[in-house]
A = this chain, B = another copy of it.
Amino acid sequence: MSDNEPKHTDEDRGSYHHGDLRRALLDAMGAVVTREGIDAVSLRGLARMVGVAPSAAFRHFRDKRALVTAYSCEAINELVVTARAKRDAVEGDAVRFEAIILAFIGFAREQPQRFRALNRRELVDIEDLDWLQAGLAMDQLVFETLNRPDADANPRLQAARNLLAWAAVHGLVTLAMDGWISDADPDDPLGAPEISDAYRLLVALVSQGRGADVRF
């Protein structure tokens, strides 16, 4: 073969030395995060996986924080895209609201380590423009779905409902993911009947402004 590669043995290949080391590092990081969580990520480990010297990573990321930020960015964007798609696939305010919630819960349940990494705000560079933009997109998605026109509601009450809904979903997901409540029931869509009950109550509250008349 005429293209005698350097010492790399992996499936890199591309134009330059490595091809796209930045991508390769992010992909390797994805694998590590999925397998062992974001705290197990090390620059040297990623470099080893990709077959490159540790210092090479610093050509593409100023420091580890920048790497984590870029990873977080991509994860947020993916979450936003899939959530928006699921929301836009259905009609009706209440259903769309529910679709968004379920998209978040689904993401958290399918890729717990990835979702958990998203919320480790202290690990990212909160000045990073890409990251800020991704966060903005997520906020916008959430609020454009929650803040639906609701003629006869007091706007302040409506805001309170939305924040409470956001917090409750976040809390349910976080508590389950961190092991404070079990969500291992395979028969239940949300992992446990109690969680599903709480979720239904929440939906009823936000959709109808009431909760007492939910039937179980």
Contacts and interface: CB of A to CB of B under 8 A. Distances in A.
Interface of A: 37, 39, 119, 121-122, 126, 154, 156-157, 159-161, 163-164, 166-172, 174-175, 178-181, 194-195, 197-198, 200-202, 205, 208-212, 214, 216
B168 A175 contact: no
A164 B201 contact: yes
A143 to B, nearest CB: 12
A163 B194 contact: yes
Contacts of A202: 164
B122 A39 contact: yes
A59 B190 CA distance: 44
A126 B216 CA distance: 34
A200 B168 contact: no
B164 A168 contact: yes
